[in-house]
Structure 1
Amino acid sequence: MKKISIVTPCYNEEDNVEELYQRVKSQFDELNNYKYEHIFIDNASDDRTVEILKSIAENDPNVKIIVNSRNFGPIRSPHYGLLQGSGDATMLIVADLQDPPELIPEFIQKWEQGSELVIGVKNESDESPAMYLIRKAYYTLTAKLSETKLVKNFYGFGLYDKKIIEIIKNIPDPYPYSRGILVDLGFNMEKIYYRQPVRHRGVTSTNFFSLYDIAMLGICSHSKVPLRIATLSGFILSLICFLIAFVYFLYKLFYWDEFPLGTAPIVIGMFFLGSVQIFFIGLVGEYVGHLISKSSNFPLVIEKERINFHTSDDD
């Protein structure tokens, strides 16, 4: 009997974890020929999330819990959770109920048909139109810049064969962009399109800074194009500035008294070049910070507690 590991990262999801547990359980109640484990990895919630999960785990040995020592962010904690499953395949489902558990049988079916990587792609969404357009624009930009063929509107919701998880375990990346790594491995991939429902309960912990962090991680991990744009822009702007300076010099030589140099072009040019330099210095800083994060030997997360992992599959 094959085993499926369901991994759910959560932070302050006291309003959602119990319903998610019940909905996942109901799917496997129908899938009689599969065993499963549901691993919740909690990012040091300060509400009743862990308390509720422990209550569930007391009555259901299929539920396993990892509690982090602190909040390690939305990048490291989910990736670490993926590596903890013992199943023949591992599936990532977020705790806010925006990844429909009712699609589990379809994911498993595609996997059984030979696709090692089955990913959920959001083609419709009930979120605000403005946010949907911003996300779509980002993924379009990232796909165009990336040297890897990234999948638009893929957020991690998917089912991954054990061989993929074993490969990822051997990639020593302390700050991984999981969505890019999964696609970059080159395994046989199948897409399942779905409509993402709006969050009905609780408040998302994702803010502008975490979204920006994920966005820059995706770009810095899979593209050198922005650095090359910075270099080419430097050459082009240098050439333009040289030509303008040369033209001014000639005008001043031939029309010394009639041609006042003026301060306006100097001030405009100075502020323009200054803003361009600051922008590209910031861009280079993002890459430097990315390299520093990648070179760190710090573990993905530090566990405070884990529950039900002692339970044997043969019990």
Structure 2
Amino acid sequence: MSERKKKISVMIPTYNEEANVCAIYTAVREELLRSCPAYDYEILFIDNKSRDRTRELIRQICAADSHVRAIFNCKNFGQFNSPYYGMIHTSGDCCITLCADFQDPVEMIPRFIAEWEKGYKIVIGRKTRSRENPIVYSLRGLYYKILRKMSTVEFIEQFTGFGLYDQSFLQTLRDLHDPTPFIRGIVAELGPERSEIEYEQPRRRAGKTHNNWYSLFDAAMLSFTSYTKVGMRMAEFFGFLVAALSFLFGLFFLVAKLVAWNSFSAGYAPTMIAVFFMGGVQLVFLGFLGEYVMAMNTRIMNRPLVVEEERLNFPESAAPSEESETETVTL
């Protein structure tokens, strides 16, 4: 009996990627066949309710190649839930995640596998340079430096999730049951010893990026509320400080009035400045509090990561049944 080949899963999330989906499939398939012929493989697309021809093209690919599978979400479930769901529904001995826009270099796949074969359960790609917007690249790096200072978790700078994950770590992800997963934080917090491979991020091959300042802010707040207490601690310490300073200023004005400074008058300016200043501070910290409350609310409701609309090329035993549907979608 011949020895079973190890199976490599490549998971590619898509959203309006009609300009890239066929090219990324061809590039990944050719790289696997050329550089990794000793392995079996599967390519899993998970589509986040694309509005263009992405799904039509994925259907054509699945019809032509049985190694390709697809999950179609019934709605857009965001930039974190959908890829996470795709990862935990791969069937290989390891899973490699990469974006459909070619900003994650396909040629790094054999390098990831080589490090995995050395015994590393996680092999990640870490950007050292980027040909995209230099301002966003710099701000992202600065943010993760700040986050590392604020958190007990050693966050990985310039890590987007691009990498290889052993099946043992994927089982950890399945067991988490986190409705708002942040894979970059989970890898840093729960992942075993990892190997890091540096690379230069190329430009997007075609199409327009779907990340904007709002989505970047959403990612920042998810990591901030999931892995730090600093927002609420800042509010506490600042509250104590302002209370102490207010007491001292109040005591100063009281003494000034009592000790014959009858003509002493500062007018309304200090009062107005203090009111507006404190109003702004309160709004900022109410915003922080709201972010924490929203994060807790999402976890308490424990909604499914995604709700599937359709699967392609999955074996019948892997499809959600009526009895196991709830368990499948709430992993």
Residues 218-297 of structure 1: pairs in structure 2 closer than 5 A: 218-297=223-302
- Report SS of the residue matched to 1:41: strand
Whole-angstrom distance in 2 between the partners of 1:108 and 1:16: 24
Whether the 8 Å contact between 2:16 and 2:54 is mirrored in structure 1 is yes
The equivalent position to 1:16 in structure 2, one of 20, 24, 46, is 20
Residues 24-173 of structure 1: pairs in structure 2 closer than 5 A: 24-30=28-34, 31-173=36-178
Whether the 8 Å contact between 2:20 and 2:205 is mirrored in structure 1 is no
Whole-angstrom distance in 1 between the partners of 2:111 and 2:157: 20
Letter in 1 for 2:59: K
Residues 178-193 of structure 1: pairs in structure 2 closer than 5 A: 178-193=183-198
Q: Which residue of 1 aligns with 2:219?
A: 214
Whether the 8 Å contact between 1:61 and 1:311 is mirrored in structure 2 is no
Runs of 4+ in 1 over 4 A off after TM superposition: none
Whole-angstrom distance in 2 between the partners of 1:156 and 1:59: 29
Whether the 8 Å contact between 2:103 and 2:205 is mirrored in structure 1 is no
Unaligned runs of 5+ in 2: 318-331
Whole-angstrom distance in 1 between the partners of 2:279 and 2:261: 29
Whole-angstrom distance in 2 between the partners of 1:200 and 1:209: 23
Aligned alpha-carbon RMSD (Å):
1.4
Whether the 8 Å contact between 1:91 and 1:158 is mirrored in structure 2 is yes
Aligned residues: 313
Q: Which moved more, 1:134-143 or 1:152-161?
A: 134-143
Structure 1 residue 190 displacement after superposition: 0.5
Could you list the per-position Cα deviations for residues 27-79 of structure 1 after superposition, in whole angstroms to 9, with x for gaps in the alignment? Answer: 11121110110000000000000111111111111111111001111011111
Unaligned runs of 5+ in 1: none
Whether the 8 Å contact between 1:9 and 1:95 is mirrored in structure 2 is yes
Give aligned-pair identity as a percent.
43
Q: Which residue of 1 aligns with 2:325?
A: none
Whole-angstrom distance in 1 between the partners of 2:299 and 2:182: 11
Q: Which moved more, 1:9-18 or 1:248-257?
A: 248-257
Structure 1 residue 241 displacement after superposition: 1.0
Q: Which moved more, 1:199-208 or 1:45-54?
A: 199-208
- Report SS of the residue matched to 2:160: strand
Structure 1 residue 120 displacement after superposition: 0.7
Whole-angstrom distance in 1 between the partners of 2:261 and 2:17: 74
Could you list the per-position Cα deviations for residues 225-260 of structure 1 after superposition, in whole angstroms to 9, with x for gaps in the alignment? Answer: 221111111101110111111101111111342101
Whole-angstrom distance in 1 between the partners of 2:312 and 2:256: 80
Letter in 2 for 1:12: N
